[in-house]
Structure 1
Amino acid sequence: MELRLEAPRPEHRQLVETYRREFLNSGDSIDGSAGLAWCSGFDDWMALLADNSHDETARPGCVATSVFLAFDGEQLVGMVDIRHRLNDYLRRYCGHIGYSVRPAFRRRGYATAMLTLALEECRRLGLSQVMLTCEKTNVASARTMLHCGAVLQDELLMGSMTIQRYWIEL
């Protein structure tokens, strides 16, 4: 595995559109994609990423984020969304980092490798600790976070879901 993170660029259009379709067709949520599921298309998503790249231009309710595509060779295997700070909603339900791995690439160590690289990015941003969350039923995500040094803070109800909140010291 030679995983690397790259910021999305116009030449990634086809890869990102395929990634989006795979998740939507499978009924899976595209976590860590900074709203890819809700955007009307690639151009709309890239505009959202540009707006949310700085607090001064972030859309209402959003904070500055850095979004990365995770590649192994030429294969797009996942996405990572790093929020530079927490607002009330993120502090309660989402945390600093969201990520997703394409269904065909799961159970191969990509999530742990992606989170490790994301933590390096967080250090570059000057963060000293990061919060991560997952649904209690998402055992694979919890295992990934624990493998990277996360400590469970607590559990919160969000509708019918139980959200686990973890912290990692950097």
Structure 2
Amino acid sequence: MPELIAPEAHRHAAWLQAHREWGPGAHEDGFGLLHDDEVDSPDGFAAWVARLRSSSGPDRCTYRWIIEGEQVLGGIALRHSYSELVREAGHIGYGIRPSARRRGVATWALGRMLDEARAAGLARVLIVCAAENAASARTIECQGGVLEEIRATEFGPARRYWIDLDTR
């Protein structure tokens, strides 16, 4: 059974295994990985984890890793305020490593993060996915997402969904 946990520096090897499965780059949604983060060395990884755990202020973000046993299956992030980033990327972003997909992990993790969003006082959240990502669209719809529109973005067309947490 998977769990959602706060990022932990001692999971360096397990996280790197998941990262390598995605391939090079900073593209794993939900991990908060920036292009200048150095995650290969233990010290760089620990600094990155410390940054994720200290996220606060107007751009506060809660990061969770999806784990099963010692394996990192993916990541999910909750952005707490309605900022320019949220307008483009949504309140919640997530990514599941390729070998863990098609098992319902994303749907499960999104449901848990919606509970965290409600506990944080959000009444409504925006979730955005690439228009051609049918699996992510199904995940969002399974958790009550209502399609607002498909909009052009700098990364291509994106589906914009809203979930009302008061009625969920």
- Normalising to structure 2: TM-score of the pair? 0.87
Superposed displacement of residue 94, structure 1: 0.6
- Matches of 2:53 and 2:102, distance apart in 1: 32
- Matches of 2:139 and 2:67, distance apart in 1: 18
Determine the structure 2 residue equivalent to 1:114: 109
Superposed displacement of residue 99, structure 1: 0.5
5+ residue gaps in structure 1? Answer: 57-62
User: Please, which of 151, 154, 157 is the counterpart of residue 146 of structure 2?
Assistant: 151
1:89 maps to 2:88: no
The answer (yes or no) to whether the contact 1:24–1:37 under 8 Å persists in 2 is no
Determine the structure 2 residue equivalent to 1:59: none
1:29 maps to 2:27: yes
SS at match of 2:23: helix
5+ residue gaps in structure 2? Answer: 40-44
Superposed displacement of residue 37, structure 1: 5.7
- Matches of 1:9 and 1:19, distance apart in 2: 14
Across the aligned residues of Structure 1 and Structure 2, the Cα RMSD in angstroms comes to 1.9
Shift >6 Å, 4+ stretches: none
- Normalising to structure 1: TM-score of the pair? 0.86
Please give the residue correspondences for 1:16-165 in structure 2 after superposition, counting only pairs within 5 Å: 16-25=15-24, 29-35=27-33, 38-41=36-39, 42-51=45-54, 53-55=55-57, 63-91=59-87, 93-159=88-154, 161-165=156-160
Superposed displacement of residue 38, structure 1: 4.6
Q: How many residues align?
A: 160
The answer (yes or no) to whether the contact 2:31–2:63 under 8 Å persists in 1 is yes
Q: Deviations over 1:66-123 (max 9, x none)?
A: 11111223322111111111212321x2111011111001011111001011111111
